[in-house]
């Protein structure tokens, strides 16, 4: 369960909202029940329920946990909006794997049209999926869900990252490992292992013009092997490669 940082004290935590409802009404937790809480940033603790009603749960901290489930390399997935509910699968799986943020964006061949009326609802649903996936994976923080962007806005956002990987199925020269391995060596001695952005195209792929735009702005065009992956698979694989090379699984 996640609590607001200000509700995470030294000795007790206060859980409110949907999580309090879930604990009391769904899980039927009683005083003495033990569970894990996180402040969504760096703190995590094993706690014991002291008292509860459906609006608020008070729990006593039994043990602060020093360990973190967060990867030292912070990876954001920029995904050109795929059809149907594929974005939900992408958010769920990439949260489990370890992404810290998602940027949905609109590119030339994006089939789903941007709808400002639906945007707030969609972001709310995606944030909920990210939160549930973060809880199930015992993450310390819930990934950020950024509002939809255009390619132009995404290009501007690229400057916040120290490595930008453009997943491009027609890239014949550079494969992801060619770039990520030297990057991982460079950041190996650093505790905070950088900010990486992975850009994935829609079902129809990127246009040559878009590839040029991203590359001119500093992205590195990379291949993910000889097989063409579904739009929803490419980000998961690229994320896994980055976390593997930066030592997350070693």
Q: Does 231 engage in binding with ligand SAM (CB under 6 A)? A: yes
Q: Does 229 engage in binding with ligand SAM (CB under 6 A)? A: yes
Closest CB to ligand SAM among 108 and 162? 108
Q: Cα–Cα distance between 133 and 117 in angstroms, integer?
A: 26
Residues 6+ away with beta carbon under 8 Å from 189: none
- Rounded to 5 degrees, φ, ψ at 105 are -145, 160
Residues 6+ away with beta carbon under 8 Å from 5: 39, 40, 41, 43
Binding positions for ligand SAM, 138-177, rule CB under 6 A: 167-169
- Rounded to 5 degrees, φ, ψ at 177 are -65, -30
Closest CB to ligand SAM among 76 and 140? 76
Piece in contact with ligand SAM (CB under 6 A), picked from 29-37, 95-103, 123-131, 196-204? 196-204
Q: Cα–Cα distance between 118 and 234 in angstroms, integer?
A: 26
**Min CB(37)–ligand SAM separation in Å:** 37
Closest CB to ligand SAM among 7 and 207? 207
**Min CB(134)–ligand SAM separation in Å:** 24
Q: How many residues bind ligand SAM (CB under 6 A)?
A: 17
- Rounded to 5 degrees, φ, ψ at 200 are -125, 140
**Min CB(105)–ligand SAM separation in Å:** 12
Q: Cα–Cα distance between 219 and 177 in angstroms, integer?
A: 15
Q: Where are the beta strands (DSSP E) in 110-186?
A: 144-145, 149-150, 163-167
Q: Does 72 engage in binding with ligand SAM (CB under 6 A)? A: no
Could you tell me the end-to-end alpha-carbon distance of the chain, in angstroms, rounded to an integer? 27
**Min CB(119)–ligand SAM separation in Å:** 23
**Min CB(83)–ligand SAM separation in Å:** 8
**Min CB(233)–ligand SAM separation in Å:** 7
Which residues here bind ligand SAM, judged by CB under 6 A? 167-169, 200-201, 203, 205-206, 223-225, 227-231, 234
């Amino acid at each position: 369960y996640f609590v607001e940082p200000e509700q995470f004290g030294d000795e007790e935590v206060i859980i409110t909202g949907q999580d309090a409802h879930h604990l009391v009404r769904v899980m039927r937790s009683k005083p003495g029940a033990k569970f894990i809480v996180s402040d969504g940033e760096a703190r995590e603790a094993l706690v014991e329920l002291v008292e509860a009603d459906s609006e608020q749960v008070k729990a006593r901290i039994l043990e602060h946990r020093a360990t973190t489930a967060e990867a030292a390399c912070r990876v954001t997935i920029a995904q050109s909006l795929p059809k149907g509910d594929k974005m939900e699968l992408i958010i769920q799986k990439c949260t489990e794997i370890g992404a810290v943020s998602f940027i949905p964006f609109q590119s030339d061949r994006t089939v789903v049209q941007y709808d400002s009326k639906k945007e707030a609802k969609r972001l709310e649903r995606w944030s909920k999926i990210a939160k549930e996936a973060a809880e199930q994976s015992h993450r310390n923080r819930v990934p950020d869900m950024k509002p939809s962007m255009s390619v132009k806005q995404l290009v501007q956002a690229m400057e916040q990252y120290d490595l930008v990987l453009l997943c491009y199925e027609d890239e014949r020269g550079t494969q992801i490992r060619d770039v990520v391995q030297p990057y991982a060596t460079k950041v190996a001695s650093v505790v905070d292992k950088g900010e990486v952005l992975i850009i994935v195209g829609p079902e129809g792929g990127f246009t040559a013009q878009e590839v040029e735009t991203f590359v001119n702005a500093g992205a590195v065009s990379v291949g993910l092997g000889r097989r063409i992956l579904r739009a929803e698979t490419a980000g998961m694989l690229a994320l896994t490669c980055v976390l593997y090379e930066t030592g997350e699984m070693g």
